[in-house]
């Protein structure tokens, strides 16, 4: 299902077979993409577009190193963490400084969730991320932030691709690999936003995704080791393309915004159809594991207290339990209340010895 959007308004229509959705919750759009792909410009564009449609977006900037933002941010990481100070304090380079700033911010992310919880009138939450994509996608803080938000709100990833740079088939393949890894890592619905269509139409990229031969021809035009790798990878990614949403956009002119929000509508459906059941399944697995661990611990505790000995003996001689000597019966009935484990252990040992003497007497 490679979907490319046609014109539409903010898509919110749901047919009767749709999964249960919660229209009271804002939709979160996390913007990710390679450095310079146009994430920040895209944020500014969709923010303006939503305002023009009388929708209320809430904007969060998570890039601590950005010098100037072209949009007003409701929450800005730069207000909480001074990236240059972090670099000085921890003696880090620029990338280390950005990662550490994001880590520091992630420790307070529950406060962001609290703020969002209190906002009742917002339709969308837009999140801008640092320039270096790996800072967010492969760091603990990026995972903490995206997981925390996706657990509470319908969340969609907008993967911004620089269409101009992707006219090079090897660069195109690197972008697709990144999009693919993000999709499988987060399991969230993802839209590939082919940005900068005011410079180059994204038709060629859609064609490469739909027609394997065309992409091969493009690769043949520049033989290299990386082209060979891209050729092999394109075979693997063929499956991934089927589940991918793509849309052409120009963050500068605003062309394609309506199409983007149409895709967001379908991605939100996917969130409820696939991400939520996956989350519930995960919760069940964790609960089951916890139960099993608790049972194992309880069993261990019983063994430590000698109860298991008694249970085994019960199984071997079910009729004898009624004829047990008083010390053994007493242990069974009453000593559970004794909180002192040492005393219980001594008593159980004495009881077992007494029982052994009793059985020896019987035979
Ligand atoms: N022509 C054109 N230029 C664009 C478009 N979107 C972004 N740009 C330009 O691309 C450059 C990078 O844009 P940004 O929005 O800063 O990109 P970014 O991904 O946020 O960059 P980092 O955060 O540094 O990774 C800027 O010079 C933008 O003006 C677009 O749709 N068309
Ligand atoms: Mg940016």
173-226 pLDDT tens trace: 999 999 999 998 999 999 999 999 999 999 999 999 998 889 888 888 876 766
d(CA 81, CA 101): 6
Ligand 1 atom nearest 35 alpha carbon: 25
User: Could you write out the DSSP letters of every residue in 259-285?
Assistant: HHHHHHHHHHHHIIIIIHHHHHHHHHH
d(CA 102, CA 135): 8
Q: Collect all residues with Cβ–Cβ distance below 8 Å to 349 and sequence separation of at least 6.
A: 306
Q: Decide: 199 in ligand 1 pocket, CB within 6 A.
A: yes
Best mutation site among 33, 40, 163, 198 for ligand 1, i.e. most ligand atoms within 8 A of its Cβ? Answer: 40
Ligand nearest to the CA of 44: 1
Whole-number CA gyration radius for the chain: 30
Q: Whose CA is nearest to atom 9 of ligand 1?
A: 38
**Model confidence band, residue 20 (pLDDT cutoffs 50, 70, 90):** low
CB 57 within 8 A of CB 123: yes
Q: Decide: 36 in ligand 1 pocket, CB within 6 A.
A: yes
Q: Decide: 269 in ligand 1 pocket, CB within 6 A.
A: no
Q: Collect all residues with Cβ–Cβ distance below 8 Å to 356 and sequence separation of at least 6.
A: none
Least confident residue range of 219-223, 265-269, 345-349 = 345-349
Which DSSP letter does residue 323 get? Answer: G
123-164 pLDDT tens trace: 999 999 998 888 888 888 999 999 999 999 999 999 999 999
Q: Collect all residues with Cβ–Cβ distance below 8 Å to 330 and sequence separation of at least 6.
A: 351
Among 198, 196, 221, 199, CA closest to 208: 221
* 37 CA from centroid of ligand 2 (Å): 8
Q: Which pLDDT belongs to residue 213?
A: 84
In degrees and rounded to multiples of 5, residue 35 shows phi and psi of: -55, 130
Ligand 1 atom nearest 132 alpha carbon: 25
Residue length, the chain?
363
For residues 336-356, average pLDDT: 54
122-153 core/surface letters (b: 16 or more CB in 10 A; e: else): bbbbbbbbbbbbebbbebebbeebbeebbeeb
d(CA 212, CA 234): 8
40-90 pLDDT tens trace: 999 999 999 999 999 999 999 999 999 999 999 999 999 999 999 999 999
Cβ atoms within 10 Å, residue 278 = 12
Whether residue 321 has pLDDT greater than 80: no
* 115 CA from centroid of ligand 2 (Å): 24
Q: Collect all residues with Cβ–Cβ distance below 8 Å to 289 and sequence separation of at least 6.
A: none
The more confidently predicted of residues 335 and 169 is 169
């Amino acid at each position: 299902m490679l979907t490319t959007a046609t014109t539409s308004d903010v898509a919110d229509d749901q047919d009767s077979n749709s999964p249960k959705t919660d229209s009271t919750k804002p939709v979160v759009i996390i913007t990710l993409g390679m450095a310079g792909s146009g994430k920040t410009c895209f944020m500014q564009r969709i923010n303006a577009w939503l305002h023009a449609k009388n929708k209320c977006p809430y904007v969060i900037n998570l890039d601590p190193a950005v010098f100037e933002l072209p949009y007003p941010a409701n929450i800005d990481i730069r207000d909480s963490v001074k990236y240059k100070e972090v670099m000085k304090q921890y003696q880090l380079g620029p990338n280390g400084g950005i990662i550490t700033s994001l880590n520091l911010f992630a420790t307070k992310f529950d406060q962001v969730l609290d703020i969002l919880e209190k906002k009742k009138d917002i339709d969308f939450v837009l999140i801008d991320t640092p320039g270096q994509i790996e800072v967010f996608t492969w760091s603990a803080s990026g995972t903490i932030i995206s997981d925390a938000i996706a657990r509470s709100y319908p969340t969609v990833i907008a993967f911004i691709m620089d269409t101009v740079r992707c006219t090079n088939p090897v660069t195109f393949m690197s972008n697709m690999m990144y999009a693919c890894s993000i999709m499988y890592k987060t399991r969230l619905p993802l839209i590939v936003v082919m940005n900068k269509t005011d410079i180059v139409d994204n038709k060629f990229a859609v064609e490469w995704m739909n027609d394997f031969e065309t992409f091969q021809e493009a690769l043949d035009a520049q033989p290299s080791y990386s082209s060979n790798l891209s050729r092999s990878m394109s075979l693997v990614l063929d499956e991934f393309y089927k589940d991918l949403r793509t849309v052409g956009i120009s963050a500068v002119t605003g062309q394609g915004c309506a199409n983007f929000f149409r895709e967001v509508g379908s991605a939100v459906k996917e969130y409820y159809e696939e991400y939520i059941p996956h989350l519930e399944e995960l919760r069940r697995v964790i609960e089951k594991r916890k139960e099993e661990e608790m049972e194992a611990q309880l069993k261990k505790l019983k063994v430590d207290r000698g109860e298991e000995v008694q249970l085994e003996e019960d199984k071997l001689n079910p009729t004898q339990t009624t004829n047990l000597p008083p010390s053994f019966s007493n242990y069974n009935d009453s000593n559970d209340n004794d909180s002192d484990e040492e005393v219980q252990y001594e008593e159980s040992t004495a009881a077992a010895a007494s029982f052994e003497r009793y059985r020896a007497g019987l035979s």
